[in-house]
Structure formats: structure tokens, C-alpha cells
Structure 1
């Protein structure tokens, strides 16, 4: 029995670097994050102007900075730029350099509403049972609820149903209705 417990004790230290995302920080305030799944490495650092720069080992680079008006600007090395700002009604507006614009706001009932400049609109609200309901202006609806076992159930108005379960290692597994019944 002692040998089995010792093997389990040693195995958790041997396997934990493989299962958990690890970080390292050096004394110059550069942070590095390593992903155990796809073996990417990202470096997060600040430059002299206070901008946050995120680089990965493939040479991709993102810069997060604030402008004079307090807006947050996210730029990458390919020339893509997003500006995040608040308007006078406390709505959050996200614009990019391609002309796309999204507005995030709350209505008087506390529902979150996402609108873009193409006429699309999504409403995120909670129903009387505590389920999360996501609706758009095209008539699509998704309901996210929890069952008595703590599993998440995602249903839409077309009859599709997916269950997100947690297994023994606390990993999420996705089961849909079609795979359960062979449809």
C-alpha cells in the first residue's frame, strides 16, 4: 500500500507540468507564458512609454496602449488596429481600421445588448429560471442552463442540444444529442 501511495505522490509531480499552463517571470518584469498543449511561448513586457507588448515565438506582436483621450488601442504587426472607447451614455464601442463597429450596452432591464454597424443585434439576458438566454434579431435563440449534476446544457430554438460535462480530472467534455442517439 505504501508503494502505491508513493507512486501516486511522485506521479503528480511528474505529470503536473504536462497538464498545467506554466509561467515564469524574471526580474526585468518580462512575463513568459508557456502552453502545454500547443507548445507556444508568449512574452509580455512594457516599453518605455508604458505600452504593453505581447510577442510569441512565431514573431507575432500585439501592442496595447492608451491614447490622449483615454481610449485603449490594440495594434498588431500586420497593421490591424482596434480602438476601444466609452461614449457619453457609458456604452463600450469597439472600432477597427476596416470600418467595423460594435457597441456594447445595457438596457433598463439589465440585459446586455451587442449591436454592430451592419444591423446585427444580440441580446443577452437571464430568464426567470436563472438560465442565460442569447437572442439575435434574426430569430435565433440559445439557452444556457445547468442541470442538477452541474453540467452545462446549451439548447437552441432549432432543437439542437449540447451538454458540457466535467470528468474526473475536471476537464470539460462536450456531448451533443445527435451523437448520443445516433442521429
Structure 2
């Protein structure tokens, strides 16, 4: 509840900041237009014939949210003026100091989330051919991935760094990584972790964050 309240405060503060710096108007098609107080910076959030939303501005930035991505992540946004305005404010905040930035958010034919930009960033998140969750991120040519192998074990790779989380034939879970950490979870500890983090994928991500980031 506290987190939701803080997010609401953030959106309100963003609205006040941009209201002071310029104005946002809605055209007859429901698209949003922004112009700064000095008239030097303009931006638009508009819907195309495919129901995608595209942000463009006077600094040659462009961010495209394709329809399938919007339907999954922001259901109802095209008919919800407040939700659309909130995202517009956030895009203004992110891009007004950039120039020539291009990004696209989409869901491909295999129902995989793909986010890609022109600055060397790419994220792919979805299911592999076995139905397991798969995550792969690339930053300036360096890939970070979290996947399950054919045995169902979780594997993390980032350059030369590696880690795994797997269950042995005795149903004991163990974690191991390339920087020397290696331990096995007792039944009570594992049950407590599952109760707190709900899935083995979430537990693995917590361990990776603790030891690699």
C-alpha cells in the first residue's frame, strides 16, 4: 500500500513539474501534445491505425509501444486518458534531455516480450520450447541470461560469471556459482524462502542480485 501511495505521489509531482514547464493538450483524435513554456521543446503521444502508441519529440527521439505490449502491460490505456497522460509525463521526463533515441516495446508471435533500443540494449523475456521461463538481456554486446536447462535446473550467465540452482535426486536444493559460493538449502529454510518469494525463479534472482550485482 505504501508503495502504491509513493507511486501516486510521483505521478502527481511529475504532472505539476511539466504543468509548470509547459502545457499538454489533447487533439481531436485523442493524441497528446506537449509544448514547453519557451516553445523550444515539443512532443507527441499518438495512436496509429494498428492501435500502437508512439512517442516522438523535437529532439528526434521515438519510443513505440506496440498494441500487444500495451494490451498485456497497460490494459485499457487507449481509452484511459489519465493512464495515457501519466505515461506521457514519464516519457517526457526520460527523453527531454536525450537526442536521437529509438526504442520499441513489443510482444512477438511466440508471445515473448522484446524491448530493444538503438543504444545497444535488448531484452527478451518469455517461455522456451519446454514452457520454462526464459530471460535474456544484452547491454552493449554483453549478454545476461536466466534460463532452465533440459533437466529443469536454473542457470544464470553474464560474461564469465555463471550460477545455477538445482534440485538433486533427494529433493534437496543447492546453489553454486563461478565466484566460489556453494551451499545446500535445508528443507525448513527452502520452505521458508518459498513462502516469502513464492517461486524458485524468484529465489534464484535474489541470490544472483546478492552475489553479482
TM-score by length of 1: 0.41
Asked which structure has the greater CA Rg, the reply is 1
More helix by share: 2
For CA contacts below 8 A with separation 6 or more, give which structure has more relative contact order.
2
